[in-house]
Amino acid sequence: MQNPSPYPTDLTDEQWKLIESLMPSASRIGRRRTCLRRVLNAVFYLLRTSCAWRMIPHEYPSWRTVYGHYRKWVGEGRLELWLEVLRRIDRIEEGRPATPSAVIVDSQSIRTAEGGLERGYDAGKKITGRKRHLAVDILGNITQVNVGSASVQDRDAAPPLLKDVARISKRLRAAFADGGYAGACVKKVAALRPGNPIRLNIVCRPKGARGFQILPKRWVVERTIAWLMKYRRLRADYERLPIVSAGMILLAMIHLLLSRLA
């Protein structure tokens, strides 16, 4: 089967096979269902080009159909399922256990293009918008992402972020972060699992260092953020709801993993 539309973001047959079995089953009643491969291709096109929903090319299903499926996938938690399965496959192919024992956390403040819920001002970055809190494994694959107001400090967002990661990976033992997470945050993270505490390791710049420095572990999450910035839709936050914004980040990581695996 050939790709139904000619855009570089469209899934190949091999990539579609990786995710086809994870798609929701079709209902036996009602109208004939739209091809979900074309729907997914349309969202990937929007992610990479940053076009408006109403400007999705005519080769794809109507924008209302595409947006409706996307919102349904977000609400059902289906994107988290797809990402977890693909992340496990990638880790196993790299000779690692399916779930990580260590993650690297960081945040990215981003401007919101319009209004929306949970907006705030990041005084450090001088940005009004939202903040993306990311936890990635040693390969750079996103394990968890939380999106909220830019006014939320990193040290306050880390404990709930790592709590979600610990729920996904029972093997989690350690996390690495920059100096913005130092202080009481280290004790809060350890208290998440008293019997088997998670160690939050602060990786700081060497004293007297100037200019760009590649820091152990921390470069992994910074590389992931650079990967995400290739998707133009993520260079600003266009979504009204934080959960919808987080879904865009998850889909970008899913697209990266599909490209890597096939």
Report the SS3 class of residue 63: helix
**Per-residue pLDDT at 166 exceeds 60:** yes
CB count within 10 Å of CB 30 equals: 7
Q: Using alpha carbons only, how large is the chain's radius of gyration in Å?
A: 19
Which residue shows structure tokens 């992402």?
A: 145
CA distances from 45 to 42, 59, 147 (A): 5, 11, 22
99-235, what's its fold?
Answer: Nucleotidyltransferase; domain 5 (3.30.420)
pLDDT in tens, 79-124: 999 999 999 999 999 999 999 999 999 999 999 987 777 889 988 8
CB count within 10 Å of CB 127 equals: 17
**Domain segments of the chain: what residues?**
13-76, 99-235
Which residue shows structure tokens 């919101």?
A: 112
Per-residue model confidence (pLDDT) at position 34? 84
Q: Cα 74–76–78 angle (5° rounding)? A: 70
CB neighbour list of residue 6: distance below 8 Å, 6 or more residues apart: 59
Per-residue model confidence (pLDDT) at position 52? 93
pTM value > 0.85 = yes
Cα(219)–Cα(42) distance, rounded to whole angstroms? 32
Per-residue model confidence (pLDDT) at position 28? 55
pLDDT in tens, 24-73: 876 555 455 789 999 999 999 999 999 999 999 999 999 999 999 999 99
